[in-house]
Chain A
Amino acid sequence: DPYCFALKMSILQYNGGSVIAMTGKNCVGIACDRRFGVQQLTLAGDFDKVFKINDKLFLGLPGLATDMQTLHEKLRYRVNMYRLREERDVSPKVFAKMVSSILYEHRWGPYFTEPVIGGLEGDKPFVCSMDLIGCPMVTDDFVVSGSSNESLLGICESLYIPDQSPEDLFETLSQCLLNAMDRDCISGWGATVHIITTTGVTSRNLRTRQD
């Protein structure tokens, strides 16, 4: 039967998906595609991979969907306990350390997800990505992760302009994600973009190629 076959692919590409975070002037953008699939089979087009941690902090979790869901729940638990005990919101830097710690705790049986964090430290933008065992990388421009991460890196490097306004950041971020997604068969089927500023968050769904 020519339609029954399994592809030999990396576990991090089993579900597919891409995430990107980018800094602007006193603002941060974080975006993801919306596809949920199992290897070459697409099952949903409303599967967001970016989660709100608090009003000024978002987390992107591409990779194996089950690990992404569990990690999100674990982190939500840790953040809620932090907020209850310390009576304050967790800051992006501290949150990044928490994620890194948790991932390394599973050094020998890791969560197959390579997170991306975007937030505001006060009014200064903060982005960070890490590998599946928690090695953090903080940059001052953009971070990418997921099945199209190499394309994303190339596009961001070309299109990125520092200190953009929220509106311009939205355009740049969207174009980076869209064009990288279109080159990746396991990312796509819609995109969600969040722009975080000191006054609030604007979230938009992009109309993309549905393939």
Chain B
Amino acid sequence: MDYSFSLTTFSPSGKLGQIEYALNAVSSGATSLGIKAVNGVVIATEKKLPTPLIDETTIQRAALLTQNIGVVYSGMGPDSRVLVDKGRKFATKYHQQHGETVPVSQLVRELASIMQEFTQSGGVRPFGVSLLVAGADEQGFHLFQVDPSGAYFGWKASAIGKNMVSAKTFLEKRFREDMDIEDAISNALRTLKEGFEGELNGHTIEVAVVKADRRFRILSPSEVDDYLKELQ
């Protein structure tokens, strides 16, 4: 059961092949993106189902980590669930010990630390996901990306997954420092629309927001449809 040696080893050029391949798994996964506004954060992801036979109400790609922090992923769903669970456990333990909810940056650091562990520990492989963590704490609103290597970045706006390149270009053009959260939601939807194949509606994408109330909320399909209608 226990390998004493790591399966992730350096190439002569200084790269870690397994991490590169993990990033490939992320790049072939469904697109996710996030935008940080002055008064909130929004994250969104494609929920393209391979066949109409799937009961999409049982699929949830956005997940709550605490009352005010949530996450969306690109890559392997099962891997993301392990991280979500570890994140939730860490956040709850923090709350039990400190009587305060965990700051977003601390939770992100913990997730990143776990992901890094799996690039160095014996007998395991890196996680095949990149995470977009959105949340609010006393320091304000945050949007973080965490990669399979364990590297993490704070973003004003970012995209991961299949269409990340064109999505990021689109976001760069539209992003403004003084953006309101409602504008950010519209822009997020517009960005997803750009590279979307098929019909864009409340059942084929998932959107989650943190607003001034500091609660992470996954929007219902009808709420998403309302926002999409306003785009027209």
Additional A-B contacts beyond A85-B109, A97-B100 (17; CB < 8 A): A85-B106, A86-B103, A86-B106, A91-B100, A93-B99, A93-B100, A94-B98, A94-B99, A94-B100, A96-B99, A97-B97, A97-B98, A97-B99, A98-B97, A98-B98, A101-B96, A101-B97
Contacts of B98 in A (CB 8 A): 94, 97-98
Interface residues on A, range: under 10
19 residue pairs A–B, Cβ–Cβ below 8 Å = A85-B106, A85-B109, A86-B103, A86-B106, A91-B100, A93-B99, A93-B100, A94-B98, A94-B99, A94-B100, A96-B99, A97-B97, A97-B98, A97-B99, A97-B100, A98-B97, A98-B98, A101-B96, A101-B97
Assembled-state Cα–Cα distance A91/B138 (Å): 13
- Interface residue SS majority, chain B: helix
Min CB–CB distance B6 → chain A (angstroms): 26
> Which of B98, B103, B109 is the most central at the interface, judged by chain A CB atoms within 10 Å of its CB?
B98
Min CB–CB distance A119 → chain B (angstroms): 14
Q: Mark A66-98, 1 if CB is under 8 A from B, else 0.
A: 000000000000000000011000010110111
Contacts of A101 in B (CB 8 A): 96-97
Q: For chain B residues 46-104, which have a beta carbon within 8 Å of chain A? A: 96-100, 103
Min CB–CB distance B95 → chain A (angstroms): 9
Min CB–CB distance A208 → chain B (angstroms): 37
Number of interface residues of B (CB under 8 A): 8
Assembled-state Cα–Cα distance A143/B127 (Å): 51
Assembled-state Cα–Cα distance A101/B98 (Å): 8
Contacts of B103 in A (CB 8 A): 86
Min CB–CB distance A130 → chain B (angstroms): 13
Min CB–CB distance B155 → chain A (angstroms): 20
Which of chain A's residues has its CB closest to B102's CB? A86
Assembled-state Cα–Cα distance A93/B97 (Å): 11
Assembled-state Cα–Cα distance A211/B109 (Å): 54
> Which of A86, A91, A93, A98 is the most central at the interface, judged by chain B CB atoms within 10 Å of its CB?
A86
Contacts of B96 in A (CB 8 A): 101
Q: Mark B99-130, 1 if CB is under 8 A from A, else 0.
A: 11001001001000000000000000000000
Min CB–CB distance B116 → chain A (angstroms): 16
Shortest beta-carbon contacts, A-B, top 9: A97-B99, A101-B97, A94-B98, A94-B100, A97-B98, A94-B99, A93-B99, A98-B97, A86-B103
Assembled-state Cα–Cα distance A97/B98 (Å): 5
Min CB–CB distance B219 → chain A (angstroms): 31
Assembled-state Cα–Cα distance A94/B103 (Å): 13
Contacts of A98 in B (CB 8 A): 97-98
Min CB–CB distance B214 → chain A (angstroms): 18
Contacts of A91 in B (CB 8 A): 100
Which of chain B's residues has its CB closest to A105's CB? B97
Q: For chain A residues 93-137, which have a beta carbon within 8 Å of chain B? A: 93-94, 96-98, 101
Min CB–CB distance A162 → chain B (angstroms): 26
Which of chain B's residues has its CB closest to A87's CB? B105
Min CB–CB distance A121 → chain B (angstroms): 12
Contacts of A85 in B (CB 8 A): 106, 109
Assembled-state Cα–Cα distance A144/B99 (Å): 23
Min CB–CB distance A202 → chain B (angstroms): 29
Which of chain A's residues has its CB closest to B96's CB? A101
Assembled-state Cα–Cα distance A97/B97 (Å): 6
Min CB–CB distance B87 → chain A (angstroms): 16
Assembled-state Cα–Cα distance A96/B98 (Å): 8
Contacts of A96 in B (CB 8 A): 99
Assembled-state Cα–Cα distance A3/B106 (Å): 58
Assembled-state Cα–Cα distance A93/B100 (Å): 9
Which of chain A's residues has its CB closest to B138's CB? A88
Q: For chain B residues 159-212, which have a beta carbon within 8 Å of chain A? A: none
Min CB–CB distance A107 → chain B (angstroms): 14
Min CB–CB distance B92 → chain A (angstroms): 13
Min CB–CB distance B90 → chain A (angstroms): 13
